[in-house]
Structure formats: C-alpha cells, structure tokens
Structure 1
Amino acid sequence: MSNENIFREVDEELRSDRMRALWRRFAPFVIGGAVAIVLLVAINEGWSWYSNSRSAEGSQQLYAALDAAEAGDIAGAETQLDAIAANPSGGYGTLAQFRKAALLAEQGDSAGAVAAYDALSSSQSNPRLRELALLLAGNVLVDTGTVADVEARLGTLATDDSQMRRPARELLGLAHYKAGDFAAAQQNFEAVLNDPLVQSPVRSRVSFYIAQMLSDGVIAAETPAQDAADAVDAIVQDDAAEPAVTEPVAE
C-alpha cells in the first residue's frame, strides 16, 4: 500500500471520528428541535380545528336564537343569546350582545337596550364596534331620552374627523327637533347636507326634515335650508310629472 493511500485512509478515519463526535454533541439539540417543530405544527393544527369547531357551533347557536326570535319566542331567544355571549367563539359573542340589545329595544325596554349598548361601547376593543354601539344607543334615546342623553353618546361621533359623523349629526338634529330647539336641529341637518361625502338617500331624507321645518315656520328660509326645500320640491315635481303608463289599445 502506498503512503498516499495510507494518508487518505487515516484522513477519512479522522473525519469520521470528528463527525461522530459532533453528532454525539449536537444530536440532542437536532432531535429536540425536530420534535419541537412537529409539536408546534400539531398544536397549531389542533387549535385551528378546535377554533373552527367552536366557530361553527357558535354560528349554529346564533342562527337558532335568531329563528326563535323570528318565531316569537323572545324569552327563549334571549336565553340562547345570553349563552352565546357567555361563551364567545369566532366573534359570535359580540353579535349575540348586539342582537340582545336590539331585541330589548324592539320589545319596548328602552332602558335595558341603552344599558346593553352602553356596556358594549365600553367593553369592545374594536373602535368601530364601540362607535356602532354608541350610535345605536343614541338612536334609541332620540325617542325615549333627553338631548343631553343623546349628546352624551353621539357628541364624540359628530366631529369632522369621525366616520360616523353623518348619522350622528342626523340623530342629534332629530333629538333637538323633538326637544323644540329648531335652530340646533337646523344646524345639525345642514352639517349633514354640507358634507361632501353624504349619500343621496341621506341627503334626500335630511332635506325633507328641513323642508318640514320650513313648512311649519319654525326656521327661516335661508340657504342651504332653502336649497334643501327646493331640492325636495324638485323631487316631488319630478314624481308628479312622470307620465302614466297606458295599456296599448287592442285593435
């Protein structure tokens, strides 16, 4: 055997010994890491299955509660909604709380509905859900509360930088109108009309409010109040001017 072959064999043995030593040293870490990855994947898959299962269960319970309310079983619906809210899954707990508050309002329990919406506005982490709860509470209080009650919920939503400013200002206008403060009502309604992002149905509805106040003589005929009244007149005239549909005469 040549010296070159001997050196090669010795070098291979040394490499093999070093590899075995490295493996003995780091094998526990490699194996442990592999096991950890498998466990993490298994836990993630298991949690996904559990969450989906809970979400599906919450969906079925919510639909059952809605069906019960539709069938007139209000007490049963409220019991089911309370159960869903107590064990929230997939966001259905929040939906159940909103529906429970709406049921209270529909049944004439305005105080209970407002309390439920107030609780939602203080417990939700999502700012849009908090604003929605305040808006719905204000909507109930327009008919059952005072202007101060409505302003306490909607005052922060009626600012220029709020996405809820248009419905908030409309409700504030209605609250002031109901209280007989027609100047404040006009101010809120005109703020809605002057909003560049107001949609046509809302603009038409608020224009009718102003036209009604002009007709009653509780506000002066000024722009944009007069413009709103003119817009309402144009709508009415267009509706009246539509030609009647006649049936063709059979020859």
Structure 2
Amino acid sequence: MSQDNIFREVDEELRSDRMRALWRRFAPFVIGGAIAIVALVAINEGWAWYSNSQSAKASDEYYAALNAADAGDLAGAQAQLDTLANGSGGYAVLAGFRRAALLAEQGDSAGAVAEYDALANAQSNPRLRELALVLAANILVDTGTLADVETRIASVASDDSPLRRVARERLGLAQYKAGDFAAAQASFEAVLNDPLTQTPTRNRMAYYLGQLLSDGVTTAPTDAEVAADAIDAAVQGEAAPAAE
C-alpha cells in the first residue's frame, strides 16, 4: 500500500470518528427538536379539530334555540340561549344578542336593556359594543327617559361611528318625546344631511321634520320645505311611514 493511500485511510477514519463524536453530542437535541415539531403539529391539529367540533356544536344549539323560539317554545329557547351565552366564542355573543331580543319580544324591556348593557360592557369589539348600545337605546326611546338614551348613544352619534345615523335617529326620537324639539330637529337634520344616508332613511327624516313643521316648532325654512314635500309624497304613498 502506498504512503498516500495510508494517509487517506487515516484521514477518513479521523473524519468518521469526528462525525460519530458530533452525532453523539448533538443527537439528543436533533431528536428532541424533531419530536417537539411533531408534537406541536399534533397539538395544533388536535386543537383545530376541537375548535371546529365545538363551533359546529354551538351552531347546532344556536339554530335549535331559534327554531324553538319560532315554534313558540320561548322557555326552551331561553334556556338554550342561556347555556350558549355563558360559553365563549362568536356563538356566545350571538346568543347574548338573541336572548336580549327574546326578552324584548316577551315584553321584558328592563331585562332586555340590562342584557344589552351587559353585552356592551363585555365587548372588546367596538362595533359590537355600539350595536348593543343602540339596541338598548331603541327600547328606551319608548320605555325610558331622554337621559337613558343619551347615556348610551351620545358617543355612538359621533361623526366617526358607522352607526351614527341610526343613533342620531333614535336620539332625535327620544328628544322629540321629551319635548326638546330644537334638539330633535338638529338630530334629524344631521341624518338628512349625511351624504351616506340611504333614500328610505332620508324620507323618514323628512317625515319627522314634517311632523315638527305640523307641530309648529320647526325653525328652518329650508328644512320645512323639504318636510312639506315629504308630507305630500306620504299622502301619495311614496314616502316612509311615520315615526314609531
């Protein structure tokens, strides 16, 4: 055997020994990392399966509650909604809103308002919070005071809120009911002058202003003319119905 071959074999043996030494040193970490990756994938898949199954179960329970309510089984629907609302996830929020609506349908206005208030206080999503406040204020227009309505939706009626138009309408109705006609007129005009207001809502605002005109409490001639046109259209069956 030549001297070069001997040196080559020795070098290969040394390399092999170094690789074995490195493997013995780092093998536990490599194997542990592989096991950790497999475990994380398994946990993720397991959690996804569990979440989907829980969501499907909540969906079935929610629609079962709706069907029970439609069938007239209000007590059964309320019990199912109570169970869902005490859980977590999106269906718990939906159940809370439906539970409040069911209380309102049963004539329990105070209970419905309390439920909406609880939903508003529990929501991290600002839009869901505003929706709960508007729905509570909608009930309080008939059953509460102007202060009750203002407490809930004064901030929702701001220019940066997507629900500002419906909030201003409810606020205007509460102001009209309380006899604050100037404030009611301002609220209705704010909705009427909003460029994003849809035609049916515009017609409704004009009808409200027409009511103020007929009461003799309107102060803006331009708005009075708009309201008068709305009344004429209403007589011909073209405008929205009067305020609730």
Aligned-partner Cα distance in 2 for 1:142–1:239: 26
Q: TM-score, normalised by structure 2?
A: 0.93
Q: Percent identity?
A: 72
Range 174-183 or range 212-221, more displaced: 212-221
1:140 aligned partner = 139
Does residue 200 of the first structure (1) align with residue 172 of the second (2)?
no
1:28 aligned partner = 28
- Whether contact under 8 Å (2:208, 2:227) holds in the other structure is no
2:166 aligned partner = 167
Aligned-partner Cα distance in 2 for 1:41–1:25: 26
Range 102-111 or range 176-185, more displaced: 176-185
2:49 aligned partner = 49
- Whether contact under 8 Å (1:173, 1:185) holds in the other structure is yes
User: 1:220-231 maps to which residues of 2 (within 5 A)?
Assistant: 220=219, 222-231=221-230
SS in 2 for 1:32: helix
SS in 1 for 2:222: coil
Aligned-partner Cα distance in 2 for 1:224–1:2: 111
- Whether contact under 8 Å (2:171, 2:184) holds in the other structure is yes
Provide the aligned C-alpha RMSD in A: 1.7
- Whether contact under 8 Å (2:210, 2:230) holds in the other structure is no
- Whether contact under 8 Å (1:150, 1:172) holds in the other structure is yes
Does residue 106 of the first structure (1) align with residue 105 of the second (2)?
yes
1:115 aligned partner = 114
Does residue 84 of the first structure (1) align with residue 84 of the second (2)?
yes
SS in 2 for 1:224: helix
- Whether contact under 8 Å (1:62, 1:81) holds in the other structure is yes
Aligned-partner Cα distance in 2 for 1:164–1:87: 28
Does residue 212 of the first structure (1) align with residue 211 of the second (2)?
yes
Could you list the runs of 5+ residues in structure 2 that have no partner in the other structure?
A: 240-244
Aligned-partner Cα distance in 1 for 2:220–2:24: 94
1:6 aligned partner = 6
Could you list the runs of 5+ residues in structure 1 that have no partner in the other structure?
A: 241-251
1:125 aligned partner = 124
1:66 aligned partner = 66
Partner deviation per Cα, 1:17-69 (whole Å, 9 max, x = no partner): 11000000000000000000000000000000000000000000001110111
Aligned-partner Cα distance in 1 for 2:73–2:86: 20
- Whether contact under 8 Å (2:209, 2:223) holds in the other structure is no
Partner deviation per Cα, 1:113-171 (whole Å, 9 max, x = no partner): 00000001101111111110000000000010000000000111111222221111000
2:94 aligned partner = 95
The amino acid across from 1:119 in the alignment is A
